[in-house]
Chains A and B, each alone.
Chain A
């Protein structure tokens, strides 16, 4: 009933530019065309077929002995144990921690998906759900693969079973991707959402703050700058764990590999995808363990100023003020030391400024005005400092000299500098206000001293 050649043109985007349509024959698609026997699939992926009440899926399990090394890190050091790490985990979870991580209960489960796209929405699904946890003294990955779209309920119920047992889950960018995708799929099939209310540590955010400088923003797979890809797990794994993957599947290829399997039935391009997912899980565990050790052991473990500063922020958010201040002081020291050795760049300037400003704010709150002022003065002496910290320091010093030191000429000098540093009109207005007041006060002082001088003459 529909003219097929017209359709073809429309689809190829030549819809308007054509000559008269020619009717053409088309083929009937065959159900499950060319699908190989599932035995092949299991062999290719190294898994077994698992029957559920709603169909069969391929489950791939691997165990990694505790004394193996993943890059520089020993597998046993990747262990995340809620009983040991409860307070550190709570510090890393960004949201308010009314509901602390249970220190007993199920295992911590690492979760990572491979999907048929990145767009979200009902037309995208996870064809590989990767879970990992420490069990029986070793690191165990458990992946479930979708052999056909019709088996999705089976995949989802297996995933629900594994995830349902977890005391908490750990992901990399799971807050905005993996978890919403799983929720969408369960909801699509009108199944219960197994992750509802589950504690969730998304390592992307702490990792960005701790290690952004080590995982360059340039997305090497795409060869261009990609904001979303900044601080990618693979980049982190290279710098943090000293690991580089050989023959890894580029992420952008993954959906098309799955589609090609769906059409041809040939699973061989998918074996590397399953391996890629496994490596992601191990690296995620390693990165998480590294962050936990930092948080547990404090600034002594920090390797550089950025790590130290980020650690301070994490403590600050968790209300551990004195640890935070320690970190800020150490971060400033480390950065200034780096400055001394010449291994210093603009980024360090920003770290040192922030560390000093955060310290100064705390000192002011504690009414240690002298220390606060000293820190702000140090900010202004830095060779490279971001505008916002410079502005903060200048304004704080103007206030300090007006109200604490009562050095009005110096306060005036800082206020004038503040006027130049202000970007917005509102900020400038408040600075102008201060300047006018200072000028009035200064005038009064001059008059007084003038009057005094006249008297003594």
Chain B
């Protein structure tokens, strides 16, 4: 069945109607008996982003006339200002990072200097890195057309090829020989190109440009890996005598320069004023109504998302729905499939999309979206990056994406250069969501977040030093990034990986070290999901750390709305065997976590230190170097036996985390009722990582004047709220950090038993990756902001005595949790502002 064709003006009108209907729902409900109060409206903001007209600038003089002619043939006769600036920087040999919104013509900013260089010297080469294979494939077609046009004019052939895991073996030699521009991804660079650099000698000898697109995607573990890969690339370029210029493009983040510099170890120019035109866009904030004011329970945000998405879908508008997790994606796909009258045999109009689907399925969905056959797609952040799915009419976000940057990025998937579009954010009851939805101005005026990486995470560093030693011998005294790697090499020599002779460390092992490293996680382990309903087949994969919580026995595993139950988890074989089931619930794992302090890198041992310990850069909101290097002296200075750092309030250091999935809850679809539980006996997962922690001083606890149970509840509630604000400040996914109280307690906040701990309890917010990925130190520096925003979130929450949005539901944390945690925050803030009024 062909979808009805809706012409642009009709589309604009339909969109207006849908938005009108959303606003009307607000009016209707106001009139009803269960009406939301003025203090708690359903639609908290409708922001109109006016259309913007284009700002042009002339071509830089250095641009070859043949390139200009070819661009003119493609309809490009003038440049937007940001394009002209970026191109001028790159041609002049300055590293440049470009920060502009979706569809602002950023690809030209790197294609132009690259093609210009090839025209000037046909031996010139460029390497493009995209975070995924799909994005590289996406860029190939456009670049190829442009390169052909220019090639015709210059009477030369400009080779443009992707090189990734899908490139057939027999085509690889041709790519190496003929490619002027190689489009690849960090994984392929890491395992397929750098270790084979002699075969790529021509590329590395003539490498003029390295393009890193979607720079903001490289934060956390992935970014930490990439920074090391770039260090390896730098060594190889030096070996072949080249020194490429880096051109990076990023979505809006607070520290594009800092991130680009941390990833590449080079100094950057920033171009961040877009000259591209924009269509009119409406940004709507929707807060599901409170259904139980006493318990602070709101209508399910997934149900609310369903309602909003249907407003658009039923008006023939094409919609993308972003969900926060794989689970939510599957649930929403099910809801929307149920709600739209899909004629039999035409099940393709509503699709789910997420990582873990096999590539062929994903390509089919992308194509369906571009061709308009797929009317609605529910996706995780997998579609957040620039995969070409065409211009959609509306974007509905089920839950706050966690960062200002990601929210704008997702909103950008609806509406491109002209025509009206809408983005709707539906808040969940998570504190972060409630904070954002109730403070729209925070979002619309906020500076976006910092992207953080830690290239010197020991696990990651060690892996890449092995790879680097395999690629080129290390010279005595050679540095790797800022690291003196002598000690690491000496250790690798003890283990037989390298050998030092004649002033060089040589690789002396039969293995191929890149194979043992996965860039998307700290360890390369994962679980595969095998469907045994019929012929056994693999239907998905799950990374190692989330394996136990999503693939434990009896867990419900969902793929595009189809439910599977795990029959057996082969933990050692890393396989989960599932069968299709028909049931009305999903499962949620209960995890027990214990944190032990191994060493403290920094702590405020006296209050006077508070002010001086703050890095001025961070306080002033400037770019800072993310990540940190562990200095031995530093550690010695701050190390202290457990509990001996006196009235210390904030600390960061190294911790040991033990976590175990101890059981699971069965939760009914739609109603979210808990319909059963189960116990599990799974192996413990342990890791060494870094953590920030708050120690609530004993005198603060004493001044609470509450019963000991209430004091405990207050701390649990505080931790609940802090976790979410930390996530906001760190620009990280919920999964990236973990929380634990007093070194003992479950992740969902139930409290430790021992009474001693409550004299001066500790709240740990740790990096949820072995070795840490650089969240803890920045969080340590943002301590004051963390407390203040937590205070704001809890204080402005309209619930009476706690709800999932602030300190957790009453039944879970106790009746006094909200008031006690507010009191603790006031006392802590009073203390810190008395000393250091930031």
A2 near B500 (CB under 8 angstroms)? no
A20 near B599 (CB under 8 angstroms)? yes
Within 8 A of B (CB), among A78-127: 116-123
B199 near A1 (CB under 8 angstroms)? no
Question: Does B507 lie at the interface of the complex (its beta carbon under 8 Å from any beta carbon of A)?
Answer: yes
A4 near B502 (CB under 8 angstroms)? no
A117 and B462 in contact (CB under 8 A), knowing A15-B688, A15-B770, A122-B198?
no
Expressed in whole angstroms, the Cα–Cα distance for A11 and B632 within the complex equals 20
A21 near B196 (CB under 8 angstroms)? no
Q: Which residues of B are found within 8 Å of A11, using beta-carbon distances?
A: 462, 491-492, 495
A185 near B198 (CB under 8 angstroms)? yes
A19-63 vs B, CB cutoff 8 Å, 1 = contact: the mask equals 111010011111111010000000000000000000000000000
Q: Which of B148-156, B470-478, B747-755 contacts A (4 or more CB under 8 A)?
A: B470-478
Q: Which residues of A are found within 8 Å of B490, using beta-carbon distances?
A: 26-29
Expressed in whole angstroms, the Cα–Cα distance for A149 and B501 within the complex equals 8
B510 near A31 (CB under 8 angstroms)? no
Within 8 A of A (CB), among B476-519: 483-484, 487-488, 490-496, 499-504, 506-513
A262 and B599 in contact (CB under 8 A), knowing A187-B201, A190-B240?
no
Q: Which residues of A are found within 8 Å of B508, using beta-carbon distances?
A: 116, 259, 262-263
Question: Does A341 lie at the interface of the complex (its beta carbon under 8 Å from any beta carbon of B)?
Answer: no
Expressed in whole angstroms, the Cα–Cα distance for A122 and B192 within the complex equals 11
Closest chain B CB from A154 CB (angstroms): 13
A123 and B471 in contact (CB under 8 A), knowing A2-B458, A190-B240?
yes
Expressed in whole angstroms, the Cα–Cα distance for A262 and B629 within the complex equals 34
B502 near A116 (CB under 8 angstroms)? no
B194-218 vs A, CB cutoff 8 Å, 1 = contact: the mask equals 0111110100000000000000000
B631 near A1 (CB under 8 angstroms)? yes
A150 and B501 in contact (CB under 8 A), knowing A10-B458, A11-B462, A255-B510?
yes
Q: Chain B interface mostly helix, strand, loop or mixed?
A: mixed
A4 near B491 (CB under 8 angstroms)? yes
Q: Among the interface residues A4, A7, A30, A117, which one has the most CB atoms of the partner chain B within 10 A?
A: A7
Q: Which residues of A are found within 8 Å of B546, using beta-carbon distances?
A: none
Q: Which residues of B are found within 8 Å of A6, using beta-carbon distances?
A: 458, 688
Question: Does B140 lie at the interface of the complex (its beta carbon under 8 Å from any beta carbon of A)?
Answer: no
Q: Which residues of A are found within 8 Å of B618, using beta-carbon distances?
A: none
Expressed in whole angstroms, the Cα–Cα distance for A18 and B654 within the complex equals 12
A20 and B598 in contact (CB under 8 A), knowing A1-B630, A10-B459, A121-B512?
yes
Q: Which residues of B are found within 8 Å of A35, using beta-carbon distances?
A: 501
Closest chain A CB from B225 CB (angstroms): 15
B470 near A259 (CB under 8 angstroms)? no
B781-819 vs A, CB cutoff 8 Å, 1 = contact: the mask equals 000000000000000000000000000000000000000
A21 near B598 (CB under 8 angstroms)? yes
Chain B residue nearest in CB terms to A13: B523
Q: Which residues of A are found within 8 Å of B759, using beta-carbon distances?
A: none
A262 and B462 in contact (CB under 8 A), knowing A122-B197, A149-B506?
no
B502 near A16 (CB under 8 angstroms)? no
Closest chain A CB from B62 CB (angstroms): 31
Cross-interface CB contact of A148 among B196, B502, B770, cutoff 8 Å: B502
Question: Does B430 lie at the interface of the complex (its beta carbon under 8 Å from any beta carbon of A)?
Answer: no
Q: Which residues of A are found within 8 Å of B666, using beta-carbon distances?
A: none
Question: Does B686 lie at the interface of the complex (its beta carbon under 8 Å from any beta carbon of A)?
Answer: yes
Expressed in whole angstroms, the Cα–Cα distance for A20 and B512 within the complex equals 31
Within 8 A of B (CB), among A117-141: 117-123
A16 near B686 (CB under 8 angstroms)? yes
Interface size on A, residues (CB 8 A): 49
B496 near A31 (CB under 8 angstroms)? no
Q: Which residues of B are found within 8 Å of A17, using beta-carbon distances?
A: 686
Question: Does A301 lie at the interface of the complex (its beta carbon under 8 Å from any beta carbon of B)?
Answer: no
Question: Does B687 lie at the interface of the complex (its beta carbon under 8 Å from any beta carbon of A)?
Answer: yes
Question: Does B469 lie at the interface of the complex (its beta carbon under 8 Å from any beta carbon of A)?
Answer: yes
B632 near A3 (CB under 8 angstroms)? yes
Expressed in whole angstroms, the Cα–Cα distance for A32 and B503 within the complex equals 9
Within 8 A of A (CB), among B416-462: 458-459, 462
A16 near B770 (CB under 8 angstroms)? yes
Question: Does A173 lie at the interface of the complex (its beta carbon under 8 Å from any beta carbon of B)?
Answer: no
Q: Which residues of A are found within 8 Å of B629, using beta-carbon distances?
A: 1
Expressed in whole angstroms, the Cα–Cα distance for A160 and B688 within the complex equals 51
Interface contacts (Cβ under 8 Å), in number, total: 141
Question: Does B656 lie at the interface of the complex (its beta carbon under 8 Å from any beta carbon of A)?
Answer: yes
Chain A residue nearest in CB terms to B484: A1
A263 near B471 (CB under 8 angstroms)? no
Expressed in whole angstroms, the Cα–Cα distance for A43 and B506 within the complex equals 26
Question: Does A416 lie at the interface of the complex (its beta carbon under 8 Å from any beta carbon of B)?
Answer: no
Cross-interface CB contact of A15 among B459, B493, B495, B632, cutoff 8 Å: B459
A8 and B491 in contact (CB under 8 A), knowing A148-B501, A263-B499?
yes
A2 and B487 in contact (CB under 8 A), knowing A184-B198, A187-B201?
yes
Expressed in whole angstroms, the Cα–Cα distance for A104 and B743 within the complex equals 82
Closest chain B CB from A41 CB (angstroms): 14
Closest chain B CB from A427 CB (angstroms): 22
Question: Does A239 lie at the interface of the complex (its beta carbon under 8 Å from any beta carbon of B)?
Answer: no
Q: Which residues of B are found within 8 Å of A186, using beta-carbon distances?
A: 198
Q: Which residues of B are found within 8 Å of A184, using beta-carbon distances?
A: 196, 198-199
B491 near A7 (CB under 8 angstroms)? yes
Question: Does A256 lie at the interface of the complex (its beta carbon under 8 Å from any beta carbon of B)?
Answer: yes
A29 near B491 (CB under 8 angstroms)? no
Expressed in whole angstroms, the Cα–Cα distance for A17 and B689 within the complex equals 11
A120 and B506 in contact (CB under 8 A), knowing A11-B462, A17-B686, A26-B487?
no
Cross-interface CB contact of A262 among B201, B470, B501, B630, cutoff 8 Å: B501
Q: Which residues of A are found within 8 Å of B197, using beta-carbon distances?
A: 122, 188
A18 near B510 (CB under 8 angstroms)? no
Cross-interface CB contact of B487 among A4, A15, A16, A259, cutoff 8 Å: A4
Expressed in whole angstroms, the Cα–Cα distance for A27 and B599 within the complex equals 25
Chain B residue nearest in CB terms to A252: B510
Within 8 A of A (CB), among B640-694: 656, 685-688
Chain B residue nearest in CB terms to A184: B198
Q: Which residues of B are found within 8 Å of A29, using beta-carbon distances?
A: 490, 493, 500
B630 near A150 (CB under 8 angstroms)? no
A31 and B502 in contact (CB under 8 A), knowing A2-B630, A21-B599?
yes
A190 near B458 (CB under 8 angstroms)? no
Chain B residue nearest in CB terms to A27: B490
A2 near B488 (CB under 8 angstroms)? yes
A18 near B458 (CB under 8 angstroms)? no
Q: Which residues of B are found within 8 Å of A21, using beta-carbon distances?
A: 598-599
B770 near A188 (CB under 8 angstroms)? no
A16 and B598 in contact (CB under 8 A), knowing A32-B501, A184-B196, A187-B201?
no
Chain B residue nearest in CB terms to A23: B632
Q: Which residues of A are found within 8 Å of B503, using beta-carbon distances?
A: 31
Q: Which residues of B are found within 8 Å of A28, using beta-carbon distances?
A: 490
A119 and B487 in contact (CB under 8 A), knowing A16-B688, A190-B201?
no
A121 near B196 (CB under 8 angstroms)? yes
Chain B residue nearest in CB terms to A186: B198
Closest chain B CB from A151 CB (angstroms): 9
Q: Which residues of B are found within 8 Å of A32, using beta-carbon distances?
A: 501-502
Q: Which residues of B are found within 8 Å of A256, using beta-carbon distances?
A: 510
A187 near B199 (CB under 8 angstroms)? yes
Closest chain B CB from A146 CB (angstroms): 11
Expressed in whole angstroms, the Cα–Cα distance for A18 and B656 within the complex equals 8
Within 8 A of B (CB), among A252-277: 255-256, 259, 262-263
Chain A residue nearest in CB terms to B502: A150
Cross-interface CB contact of B496 among A16, A121, A183, A259, cutoff 8 Å: A259
Closest chain A CB from B684 CB (angstroms): 9
17 contacts between A and B (CB under 8 A): A1-B484, A1-B631, A11-B462, A17-B686, A18-B688, A31-B500, A32-B502, A33-B501, A116-B508, A122-B197, A123-B195, A148-B502, A149-B506, A150-B501, A187-B201, A259-B496, A263-B508
Interface positions of A (Cβ within 8 A of B): 1-4, 6-8, 10-11, 15-21, 23, 26-33, 35, 116-123, 148-150, 183-188, 190, 255-256, 259, 262-263
Top 5 closest pairs, chain A to chain B, by CB: A123-B470, A187-B198, A119-B512, A117-B510, A150-B502
